[in-house]
Structure 1
């Protein structure tokens, strides 16, 4: 009965979405306030019904209701409770319910917390959001019913993919989806502004908090997924340019550009057309990622490889949403006023360079992701691999100038800047950055030139960011108490920008160190075997078998010493899941800020050797890798600090009275 209740709730939500997609829009056109305000009730109703459906699905997983096909295919009675709950969104159908729940939650949030948004703009925004929810709710009900029954029910389920039975990945999809779907409300604001025919500083102020919230969540989701891949998959890497990784990274890149472009629109009433286009393209890339992952076009460790018929339905949604919004943009964008003028050397120009580099980088990743799929389709099945060598040689050099501009940009004035004066302020920063790169070169004595350039730019960005913050509070120019008073009076967004830019600099240390100076040993070992790597001596003491709740594990014991002194004991595991008939690797890591000593057990050396305790052991030393996670935390915290700024919490002031031209556009 509960699953049927959940299915009925989805149908009611679809009915409300259809009403919301039409009535508020008609009210905005006719000036009918009651019709426009109906969007509030319908958006809250959608949230209620989709939440009921999600709760019903989660309850089916928690109680192991094996009359529901989704539970049978993605759960097991012996699975720990946390992963039973995570199984709710561990399948194609369940993840779509979560997707729609987040989608309608953003619409409800705008209706509840958008009191300062003009009624017509709010009504149009919520109507566009309802168009999107109509598409996904119909997709759920027509092609991907999460409550489909199975009779007679089996005695137990097939279990969740063992790779997904991890705390990190249990949280990864919700965070990623909040990021993906969060950009939907920015998309809705953009389309609503095009329908209204008006984009101004107030519109940019209303959009910024939603953009920032989505960007923060996407940052956390990508970082958590990268961390999971690092410690769970057993290969010792944190990014492989997998297509599913790429489809989450592309919206993040354009979302970053959108954040900075919206600032220019708010501060200088410029980049209006460009900001609208970025809002459309960012969410379009989120939809494109949904299509690629769910269409059966690729197979990935964290992709939903389903039948192409579902992919065709999503392709139709993709064509309608992207094609329609871009057609509207082509019609309306030329009517927008150009906005404030600025000199080639100015903060506006710096942010424009930022946007262009991020857009070009997104295009590079998009090409590398889609080209193999097009090649396979055109050649009738021939496969082509575009992997890390392509992306590392094209994407990375493109991003290095961006890091330089990020350090320079905050020192530039709006409209017109004195480049000579800016460089004068940064001369010591450049000198210290060069010395830091030379020091790394002296210590490392090997590595690609790009790695030393990356270290130089990371130090440059970090010191320039701190220098700019210090100038704001006049650090070392006035008494410390006065500097602290100035720091307290600075807007939180200024502190957030400083923390986020410094976080990227810190992450670059990790990117460069773990990529350029990583050491690796793959050896066959028996009890008593010794392996030396990066100054550590590792002894394999043997492996023993243990029983887990729903798996059987072979746990190895490694004793780590350095210069004869005991350092740590590591316990890498290789787990076998009998129900799912698959195995996973549980790495063991000794973590410090300087680097990680990383160990994982692969298959036994051979069937005969396994009886004598012989295993394939993989050991790596990853210098500076933890700076990646530290930098990601700083990026997220910087975004949160900016989001807490009172100017964003209060929102934009009321718009001035509409001009006759604007009224005519209504």
Structure 2
């Protein structure tokens, strides 16, 4: 009965979404306040019904209800409870239900936090959100019903894909979807503004918090997914330029550009048309990622390679929303004011420079991801575009952008002084040069690019703090006065510094790992010793272990370190009995920011030796620590009182109104 209740809730949510997609928009066009108010109640109702539906599917998993086809295909009675729950979204149907639940959540949040929005704009935003919800609910009900029954019900399920039975997959998809779907709000604001034919700085103030929320969740989601692939797949890499990884990276790049562009629009009423276009393109890239993952056109460890008919349905959704929004943009853009003017050397100019390189980098990743697919369709020729292409195209685009990042906050709005900003960055430049010289000396001048990368990362980290230093009044005022000024700075200033500092930390981890990591592949038997990262790794023994739904062969290693206590590292090969699928569980020992990484290969015919891959990865954890700084920067920026969700207060608006009418 619970399953039928969940299915019925989906149908009711679809009916409400249909109402919300029509009535508030009609009310906005007619100026009918009561019709516009309908969107408020329906958005809450849709979210409640979607929550009920998702809870019903979760209960089916928890109770191992094998009369539900989705549960049969993705669960097992012996599976740990945590993975029974995460199995809800570890498959195509369940993950789409989670996707649309988060859509409903953001629509409800617009209702709750958008009380000060103009009624017409809010009604249009909720209507556009309902269009998106309605399309995906139709997709679920017509092609991907998670509540489909099976008769007769089997006694046991087929279990979840073993590589998805990990804590990382409990966290990664929800974070990623919060990022993907969060950009739908910016998209809805953009389409709503185009419908109204009006856009101003207040629009950017309303959009920027939603964009920031989506961006920080997407940052965390990509980071979590990267670390999961790093330790779970046993390949020793943290980023593979996999097409599905690129599918999440593209909206992140575009969303970063949108954040900076919206800032220019809010502060200077400039870049209005460009900001609208970015809001449309960012969510369009999120939709494209959904298509790539679920259409069956890609074969990837990250993808749901499913029935191509579902891909055709999603392709139709893409055509309607991407094509429709771009057509509306082309129709309305000429009627919108372009915004204020500014000098090339200014903070606005620096942010335009940022946008130029970020969007070019997005286009590069998009071309590298789609070109093999288009070529195969047109010529039936299969090619692979891998890391060499992306490293040679994406990397050079990032260098000038990263070099320019510390200059932006130091330049004045409208017209800045580049020389004065450069003088304030003398210490950052000196620190970077010192690091480059030290790195060249340590590496005997053999790795010039690596030394430059170290210097660039230090330039970013130190440069990100310079703005806070000078805005505190240092060195002109006393430390006590400087401290009072420092704690009184806007939270967005700290958020910006944290995010930029995090980029430098991540870059330091990338450069260190790429340039200095060592890899050893050895045939080892108990008692064998290998040199790794200046230490010794000894293979002790193999042990057979039994898990709740798998068997494992575990290799026990001891890391011997000069003058310090030895550390045990365990790496295993698991066999999940229901699916008869093997997985590799890497053994990782973290020492400060570096890691020793051990992955078991195949056993040899003599039965006493194993192929073992060993990596020493200096400073690799900085890659993910940097993303934590970036996400924290977003959280701190959201705490800025000037960046609260919503419009200026009604009281302020009433004070201005008489002056405008008198004019």
TM-score (normalizing by structure 1)? 0.97
Distance in 1 of aligned mates of 2:562 and 2:15: 70
Deviations 1:436-491 (A, max 9, x none): 11112222336643322221211111111111110011234322222221122111
Distance in 2 of aligned mates of 1:370 and 1:567: 48
- Tell me whether 60-69 or 587-596 shows the greater mean CA deviation: 587-596
Q: Which residue of 1 aligns with 2:552?
A: 553
Q: Cα RMSD (Å) of the superposition?
A: 1.6
2:589 alignment partner, SS class? strand
Q: Is the 8 A contact 2:232 2:585 kept in 1?
A: yes
Q: Which residue of 2 aligns with 1:156?
A: 156
Q: Which residue of 2 aligns with 1:462?
A: 461
Q: Is the 8 A contact 2:524 2:612 kept in 1?
A: yes
- Tell me whether 560-569 or 78-87 shows the greater mean CA deviation: 560-569
Q: Which residue of 2 aligns with 1:41?
A: 41
* CA positional deviation for 1:590: 1.3
Deviations 1:97-120 (A, max 9, x none): 000000011001101110110000
* 2:186 equivalent to 1:186: yes
* CA positional deviation for 1:592: 2.4
1:542 alignment partner, SS class? strand
Q: Is the 8 A contact 1:593 1:627 kept in 2?
A: no
Distance in 2 of aligned mates of 1:164 and 1:472: 47
* CA positional deviation for 1:650: 5.9
Mark the CA change 1:102 to 1:270 in structure 2 (over 3 Å): closer, same or farther: same
Mark the CA change 1:23 to 1:348 in structure 2 (over 3 Å): closer, same or farther: same
Distance in 2 of aligned mates of 1:14 and 1:410: 46
Mark the CA change 1:197 to 1:532 in structure 2 (over 3 Å): closer, same or farther: same
Q: Which residue of 1 aligns with 2:612?
A: 617
Distance in 2 of aligned mates of 1:210 and 1:564: 52
Q: Which residue of 2 aligns with 1:439?
A: 438
Q: Which residue of 1 aligns with 2:72?
A: 72
Distance in 2 of aligned mates of 1:460 and 1:488: 24
Mark the CA change 1:76 to 1:446 in structure 2 (over 3 Å): closer, same or farther: farther
Q: Which residue of 1 aligns with 2:213?
A: 213
Q: Which residue of 2 aligns with 1:346?
A: 346
* CA positional deviation for 1:10: 0.4
Q: Which residue of 2 aligns with 1:491?
A: 490
Q: Is the 8 A contact 1:232 1:585 kept in 2?
A: yes
- Superposed, 1:197-596 pairs within 5 Å as 197-380=197-380, 382-445=381-444, 448-563=447-562, 566-596=565-595
Q: Is the 8 A contact 2:296 2:311 kept in 1?
A: yes
Q: Is the 8 A contact 1:447 1:517 kept in 2?
A: no
Deviations 1:177-234 (A, max 9, x none): 0000000011000000010111111110000110000001000000000111111111
* 2:615 equivalent to 1:640: no
1:203 alignment partner, SS class? helix
Distance in 1 of aligned mates of 2:443 and 2:67: 60
Mark the CA change 1:448 to 1:278 in structure 2 (over 3 Å): closer, same or farther: farther
* CA positional deviation for 1:566: 4.1
1:337 alignment partner, SS class? coil
* CA positional deviation for 1:649: 2.1
Q: Which residue of 1 aligns with 2:167?
A: 167
Mark the CA change 1:475 to 1:573 in structure 2 (over 3 Å): closer, same or farther: farther
Distance in 1 of aligned mates of 2:560 and 2:467: 44
Distance in 2 of aligned mates of 1:537 and 1:164: 33
2:450 alignment partner, SS class? helix
How many matched pairs? 656
Q: Is the 8 A contact 1:447 1:516 kept in 2?
A: no
* CA positional deviation for 1:37: 0.4
Moved over 6 A (4+): none
Distance in 2 of aligned mates of 1:447 and 1:359: 34
Give unmatched runs, 5+ long, in structure 1: 661-666
Q: Which residue of 2 aligns with 1:120?
A: 120
Distance in 2 of aligned mates of 1:83 and 1:570: 25
Distance in 1 of aligned mates of 2:417 and 2:194: 37
1:475 alignment partner, SS class? coil
Give unmatched runs, 5+ long, in structure 2: none
Mark the CA change 1:650 to 1:581 in structure 2 (over 3 Å): closer, same or farther: closer
TM-score (normalizing by structure 2)? 0.97
Mark the CA change 1:146 to 1:332 in structure 2 (over 3 Å): closer, same or farther: same
2:574 alignment partner, SS class? strand
* 2:628 equivalent to 1:629: no
1:235 alignment partner, SS class? coil
